[in-house]
Amino acid sequence: MNLQEFEGQYREAMAEALNDLQTAVLLLAQLQNKISKVGNSVQHISERVEEFIADQKAE
């Protein structure tokens, strides 16, 4: 393997690794957004249940 072949393989491997890293970062951002939405939904459901329980106890 000569220097040009080595350099070509190196650049190709680095490009692939950076693309994979970028993909992982984008997926992480999507996951964080989804976790936030689920957390908000759970909080909303919990508040509704607490309100319902309080209303039932008041009757």
Q: How far apart are CA 59 and CA 49, in angstroms?
A: 16
Quote the mean pLDDT of the chain. 97
Per-residue tokens: 2? 């000569």
3-state secondary structure (DSSP) of residue 59: coil
* Range 9-22 average pLDDT: 98
pLDDT bin (cut points 50, 70, 90) of residue 59 is confident
What does DSSP assign to residue 2?
-
* Amino acid of residue 30: Q
* Range 15-29 average pLDDT: 98
Q: How far apart are CA 58 and CA 55, in angstroms?
A: 5
